[in-house]
Amino acid sequence: MPNRAYDVIIIGAGVVGSLIARALSRYRLRILLLDKASDVGEGTTKANTAIVHAGYDAKPGSLKAWLNVAGNAMYDQVCAELDVDFDRCGTYVVAVRPEDWETLRYLHQRGVQNGVPGLGLIDAQEMRCREPAITESTVGALVAETGGIVDPFGLCIGAAESAMLNGVELALETEVTGLMREGRRITGVRTNRGDFAGRWVVIAAGLWADDLMHQAGLDGFIITPRKGEYFVLDRVAAETVRNVLFPCPTPISKGILVTRTIHGNVMLGPNANDVCSKEDVSVTADGLNEVLTGALALVPTLNARQIIRTFAGLRATGNTGDFVIECPQDVEGLCVLAGIESPGLTASPAIAEYVVELLREAGLELAERPDYQPIRQAIPRFSALSRREQAELIARDARYGNVICRCETVTEGEIVAACHAPIPARTYDAIKRRTRCGTGRCQGAFDLPLVVQIMARELGLSPLEITKKGGESRFLLRETKQVAP
């Protein structure tokens, strides 16, 4: 017997799954959003370049092209509703050789075909004026005024919390082990926490979408994880790099960027290397070298001494070259999203609306809920407030006066709020993504012992139970003065 019966079960609480859940929460539906990780957005969502692309890259007529441009246009509203940091700062594709002009003109033309507004070509002098740190060899650039930078964790958490506020149930640490089916119809999911019946199952499982498709009897689609490695630089570097700078693209990737981030750091990357494992997010010496070399080609004055962090993420690269988003004809009760690689983040709000339409066409009855609430508030961010607002916040709750993370000025109040948010932060990394605690130049060296104490207190756990990212990732193994086991 299944635990519960739902109208829609969404597998995968990344940015795509969470936004689909939110889009469907406008209607009178019982919705379950599930993810095998201990937090939402633990896959590709948390490790990407965090760029809102303008839409000149994808092939005209493709889903990628359409959903990129449509998704981009939705960002102002969705980020305002979900209280997510977003800056439509514009992006640049920088030409460094005279023959790159041809690429720029090609991209420009492609962008126009895709319906991208605000594209223009600028000469080297103008580029240097806008970005004084740019390489001497620059010959000009393609400017995309609608490009921007976003907080991808914030968007995913915001979407999932908004969905929950509107009645969606979230089940974390819930791993799908199989699909339930009756004949041609998918009737639910089997998980490590029991079976859940659903009239519709939406696969938004990122890197694992192909495995689930095979279980549903859909063959032929294969995802190859394509690793991208990155450096994060200290905020000081943002005095040098002001913009989002792409090199001219290659056939497999948009190339190694140098970009300011929404959080005020500078990020370098990614490279692009196919790997065997869907869990291999390790960084490699060769890969990091490649990234640094690529970044220096755009901004030769980058200071490697300002590097504070390296990471890698995996793109869910499919074998069709385009997003696959469909309710397959051969299987009933199923909607599949696969191969959602770049520009997946940009496209995600439009993908969510598209999925709603696909489900409507496929027969899901959608009755609007009168009490739908699109607005969701993030936890306060002390460092972003004015002095007066900071004083008011501390007067209301003294814990906002107690700074825990000195590099990013994150207070005890924010950590406590994250522990008690609609999706409670239960791991150190979850706290980090919600508050930026530990993301600064000391990388948590000073705050870790304090955060573990606060989390243990707020979550009613022993400090020995606090993990970095769930599972066996405990920080502390035993008390001192105990005999080692």
- Active-site positions read 53
- C-beta closer to another protein: residue 7 or 414: 414
Work out how close the CB of 401 gets to another protein at its nearest, in angstroms, rounded to a whole number.
Answer: 4
Residue with tokens 């979407």: 159
Segment near another protein (CB under 8 A); pick from 23-31, 155-163, 307-315, 318-326: 307-315
* Least spacing, CB of residue 205 vs another protein, in Å: 19
Q: Which stretch binds another protein (CB under 8 A): 98-106, 139-147, 193-201, 476-484?
A: 476-484
Q: 122 vs 394, which CB is nearer to another protein? A: 394
Closest CA to 18 of 37, 30, 38, 34: 34
Task: Tokens for 278, please give them.
Answer: 């869907």
Q: Which of 2, 328, 424, 463 is in the footprint of another protein by CB under 8 A?
A: 463
Number of other CB atoms surrounding residue 384 within 10 Å: 10
Is 375 a binding residue for another protein by CB under 8 A? The answer is: no
Which one of residues 185, 214, 395, 420 is an interface residue with another protein (CB under 8 A)?
395
In terms of CB distance, is 180 or 385 closer to another protein? 385
Alpha-carbon distance 22 to 167, whole Å? 9
H or E stretch including 144? strand 140-144
Residue 309 is a binding residue for another protein (CB under 8 A) = yes
- Burial (0-12, 13-18, 19+ Cβ within 10 Å), 358: middle
CA 423 to chain centre: 16
Shortest spacing between CB 379 and another protein, in angstroms: 17
Q: Which is nearer to another protein, 123 or 392 (CB)?
A: 392
Binding of residue 80 to another protein (CB under 8 A): no
Q: Kindly write down the DSSP assignment for every residue of 292-357, as one continuous string.
A: HHHHHHH-TT--GGGEEEEEEEEEEE-SSSS-EEE--TTSBSEEEEE---TTHHHHHHHHHHHHHH
- CA distances 70 to 26, 73, 308, 421, 430, Å, are 20, 5, 35, 31, 30
Of 15, 207, 256, 281, the one binding another protein (CB under 8 A) is: 281
Task: Write down the least CB distance from residue 429 to another protein, Å.
Answer: 9
Pick from 102, 7, 99, 20: which is nearest to 340 by CA? 20
To another protein, the closest distance from the beta carbon of 439 in angstroms equals 10
Of the candidate residues 308, 340, 350, 430, the single one contacting another protein (CB under 8 A): 308
Count other Cβ atoms within 10 Å, centred on residue 185. Answer: 12
Give the residue, chosen from 177, 250, 282, 320, that forms a contact with another protein under the rule CB under 8 A.
Answer: 282
Per CB under 8 A, contacts with another protein among 231-260 are 231-232, 236
The residue within the footprint of another protein, chosen from 180, 238, 275, 394 (CB under 8 A), is 394
Residue 387 makes contact with another protein by CB under 8 A: yes
- Is 62 a binder of another protein (CB under 8 A)? no
Q: Rounded CA gap, 270 and 280, in Å?
A: 15
Contacts of 56 (CB under 8 A, 6+ apart): 107, 108, 110, 111, 114, 116, 119, 142, 144
Strand partners, 405: 410
By rule CB under 8 A, what count of residues binds another protein? 63
- Cα dihedral 122, 123, 128, 129 sign: negative
Which residues of this protein are in contact with another protein, per CB under 8 A?
A: 231-232, 236, 279, 281-285, 288, 305, 307-311, 387-388, 390-391, 394-395, 398-403, 406-407, 409, 411-412, 441-446, 448-449, 452-453, 463-464, 467-484
